[in-house]
Amino acid sequence: MDDMSEPNEHLTRAPLSTPLVPANRLVELDILRGLALFGVMAINLVFEFRVSIFEQFLPLNEIASPLDRAVEAFLDRAITLKAFALFSLLFGAGLAIQFERLPVKRRVVLLLRRLVVLLAIGLLHMTLIWNGDILTEYALAGLLALPFLFGPTWLLATSGLLFLGLYLTPYLSQLVPLPDTSSMAHHVLDARSVYATGSFSEVLSFRLGELRAIAPLHVWIFPRTIALFLLGAFIWRTGVVQRASDNRWILFGVALAAVMVTIGAGRELATVTLAFAYGASIIGLASTQPGSKLLGWAAPLGRMAFTNYLVQSLIFSWVFYGYGFGLFGQVGASAALAFGVVVYVARSVAERCTADPGPRFTCL
């Protein structure tokens, strides 16, 4: 699952049964994925693991310190949904890469098998560990996006923009609304009690019951996920990413244009355009020798993003839920983010040691 491979088009394709070695991968994409993983971790930790996901839809907590408010405001404006958008683009590119790499006669079977396995893991993750899971949605969106990969490049771009247009309309939020404010406030109080003090079975029961309330959020975002999958596949097929060093100024130009569009865009569109700006600028920077040295530490994390995503869920659920340390609702945003940084750095060192267990690193 971690090996959504990015083969260099100038290198011989690896055998299907073996994952690509780092030398055969596009390091720029691994770096981008590793950095996006940090953004996803930060948002999940601050807005969903330490408190109820519905707290962000309620009036601000006056008890929060100025530092906590500043952290939440920064994450909301600069990171929220942008990191998930980057992951969606990367997942779409990964699907396109796999589509190209797999034997023509076995493409459908093997890709379907991967997505069905991902769906099964996502359902287990969502029910047994954390109901903020994104893997289930990715598997379902991947199944819907898969037929488009058989079409021409222009179809990927056109279909992606159409799905993005659907996301930007208000119809889905009107068709599937969130619970009213009073219901959400009551739910937050219940969540603070159950998640902070409940046993595993009590937390599990509450988590399953909470899925119905969370479902509208997934319905709203689903067209955007499909759109970004298709646009990610389109970007891969253009060949710009595979030759990032040759197309560096195109990437920087796309980043600048995306920033300019972001300035006048609404909140929903801005999350997408800013993600494009982040992605293009990071890949462009990583394609330079100084940029590669500066950001190269993120590549091992990016190569194992799927595993690291699950490991983070296991760690954070144990820290914040009652069957572990029970810190749910008791930690501010700044302290939670600091803890997340420690976990992220520890995982980065672990992945670096695994990838290159030389004398420069001590792997305990």
List, for residues 254-264, the tens digit of each pLDDT value. 999 999 999 88
Phi-psi region of 269 (alpha: psi -120 to 50; beta: other; left: phi over 0): alpha
Q: At what angle do helices 305-320 and 27-44 cross, to 10 degrees?
A: 20
- Identify whether 129 is part of a domain: yes
Query: What is the per-residue pLDDT for 16?
Result: 40
| pTM confidence score | 0.89
- Identify whether 219 is part of a domain: yes
- Identify whether 236 is part of a domain: yes
H runs (alpha helix) in the chain: 27-44, 66-74, 82-101, 107-128, 135-145, 153-168, 171-175, 181-197, 200-238, 248-264, 267-286, 289-295, 299-303, 305-320, 333-355
Q: What is the mean pLDDT of residues 179-201?
A: 91
Query: What is the per-residue pLDDT for 351?
Result: 79
- Identify whether 82 is part of a domain: yes
The domain in which residue 272 lies consists of 22-355
Query: What is the per-residue pLDDT for 353?
Result: 74
Q: In the chain, what percentage of residues exceed pLDDT 90?
A: 74
- Identify whether 1 is part of a domain: no
- Identify whether 298 is part of a domain: yes
- Identify whether 42 is part of a domain: yes
Q: Of the ranges 19-33, 44-58, 181-195, which one carries the lowest mean pLDDT score?
A: 19-33
**What domain count does the chain have?**
1
Q: What is the mean pLDDT of residues 211-224?
A: 92
Q: What is the mean pLDDT of residues 295-300?
A: 93
Q: In the chain, what percentage of residues exceed pLDDT 70?
A: 89
